[in-house]
Structure formats: C-alpha cells, structure tokens
C-alpha cells in the first residue's frame, strides 16, 4: 500500500489517503477545512483513479474530523472509529465556535471499530492498535506488509500527544506507546497526526519522554 499526506487546517493536521493497486483507498483523519484543502484531496483521488471505500478516524478531536462531513457529502462514507471516541465527537459543537471554527456536523458511525483486529483495504490489511492516552479510545492503523503505521496523535517525532485535554491520561499514553508502538519492528515508519514522519527505532532511542 501507498500513502499520500495532506497538511490541513490551522492546526496543521496530517490527513492521509492510503491506497493500493486495486484503486481502493481509505481517507484517514480528514482535517480539510478550506475549499482549497478540500479540492486538493478530491483532485488527488480523481487524478489517481481511486475509489474511496472507508473514512477512518484515529480519534475525534476537532482538527482530525473537520472534513468528515465533506467526505460524507462527497463519497457517502460515514466515519469509523472506536466507540469510546463518540463523546468527543458529540462535544465538538459546544466548543468549535470558541476556537473560531465553522464546524459542519460530522455524521456518526454505522460501524464502530474494535480495540484490535484487522480491516481489509483492497489487497492490503490494516491492523488496529488500541493506543488510548491522548484521547480515551485512540486507534493507530498499522500496515505490517508495508512497514508503516498511521499514528494519529499518540507518537510524534521527538514528542508524544498532549495529555492535558478532557479524557486524556499521560501514564496511559506512555503505556500505549510502549506496548503497542515500540513493540513494532524498528524500521517501521510512524506517520503522525502532526509534523514529519519518524521511525519506531528513532523514537525508542531519542524520544525524551522515554529517555529521561
């Protein structure tokens, strides 16, 4: 499988399109906010003759779901995420105006993702890694065959996700990273929700939250 990154909205959130030779693709954490950002995603899908079959959210903070409604309107896809994230999604309308966002209400899932297992995409497989801490029921999506993981806001290059938000927990996040991400092969690339990609091996060696 291959992936394409788009940097969206004032939080500079990474939206990912993951696809394979069948043309099927998953849109992960659509943070598109402006028409320009929306058009960039739609044009990439058209130009590469892709067929969106899944909308996935690692978690439901506003910067990762701003484009959920747009993707639903465009492709008829409702988001999929772990049910423990639903209260976060439902809370967004209460705080979006304070953050200056004109928030288009995201549809709620018909299907929730479990804490483990696999989802099929074209000829490929994405493993579900349950990584709470930044949010109550955060998931990462791991392609073992292709050596990458979509890490959301769990692990960043040289840092970790914030744990000063409602439903977050610093200790739980550290345990999630150790038990779910640091057990992957060291060469696995981690594509985070913000900033550049990193590798499992680099973070095990140099991440200051684990090397104090």
| CATH code of the domain covering residue 192 | 3.60.15.10
Question: Which tens digits make up the pLDDT trace of 15-70?
Answer: 999 999 999 999 999 999 999 999 999 999 999 999 999 999 999 999 999 999 99
Q: Averaged over 106-130, what is the pLDDT?
A: 98
Q: Per-residue confidence at 169, pLDDT binned at 50, 70, 90?
A: very high
Q: Per-residue confidence at 212, pLDDT binned at 50, 70, 90?
A: low
Residue 117 has pLDDT above 70, yes or no: yes
**Residue 212 domain-assigned?**
no
Provide the number of structural domains found in the chain. Answer: 1
**Residue 146 domain-assigned?**
yes
**Residue 138 domain-assigned?**
yes
Distance CA 184, CA 150 (A): 13
Q: Is residue 139 a contact partner of residue 80, using CB atoms and an 8 Å limit?
A: no
**Residue 125 domain-assigned?**
yes
Question: Which tens digits make up the pLDDT trace of 89-99?
Answer: 999 999 999 99
CA angle 162/17/14 to nearest 5° reads: 25
**Residue 181 domain-assigned?**
yes
Question: Which tens digits make up the pLDDT trace of 128-150?
Answer: 999 999 999 999 999 999 999 99
Task: Name the maximum alpha-carbon separation found in the chain.
Answer: 47
Residue 211 has pLDDT above 90, yes or no: no
In this prediction, residue 52 carries a pLDDT of 98
Q: Is residue 106 a contact partner of residue 138, using CB atoms and an 8 Å limit?
A: no
**Residue 124 domain-assigned?**
yes
Q: Is residue 113 a contact partner of residue 124, using CB atoms and an 8 Å limit?
A: no
**Residue 45 domain-assigned?**
yes
Q: Per-residue confidence at 196, pLDDT binned at 50, 70, 90?
A: very high
Structural domain span for residue 47: 2-102+111-206
**Residue 118 domain-assigned?**
yes
Distance CA 149, CA 113 (A): 17
Q: Is residue 141 a contact partner of residue 126, using CB atoms and an 8 Å limit?
A: yes
Distance CA 61, CA 165 (A): 10
Distance CA 149, CA 197 (A): 10
């Amino acid at each position: 499988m291959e992936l394409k990154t788009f940097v969206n909205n004032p939080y500079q959130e990474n939206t990912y399109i993951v696809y394979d030779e069948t043309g099927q693709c998953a849109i992960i954490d659509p943070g598109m906010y402006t028409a320009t950002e929306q058009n960039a995603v739609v044009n990439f899908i058209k130009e590469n003759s892709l067929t969106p079959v899944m909308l996935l959210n690692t978690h439901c903070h506003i910067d990762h779901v701003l484009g959920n409604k747009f993707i639903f309107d465009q492709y008829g896809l409702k988001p999929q995420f772990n049910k423990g994230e639903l209260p976060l999604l439902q809370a967004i309308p209460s705080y979006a105006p304070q953050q200056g966002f004109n928030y288009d209400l995201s549809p709620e899932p018909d299907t929730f993702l479990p804490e483990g297992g696999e989802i099929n995409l074209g000829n490929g497989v994405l493993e579900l890694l349950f990584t709470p801490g930044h949010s109550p029921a955060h998931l990462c999506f791991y392609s073992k065959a292709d050596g990458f993981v979509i890490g959301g806001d769990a692990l960043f290059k040289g840092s970790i996700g914030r744990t000063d938000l409602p439903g977050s927990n610093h200790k739980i996040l550290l345990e999630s990273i150790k038990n779910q991400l640091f057990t992957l092969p060291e060469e696995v690339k981690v594509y985070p929700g913000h900033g550049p990609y990193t590798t499992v091996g680099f973070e095990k060696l140099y991440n200051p939250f684990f090397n104090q």
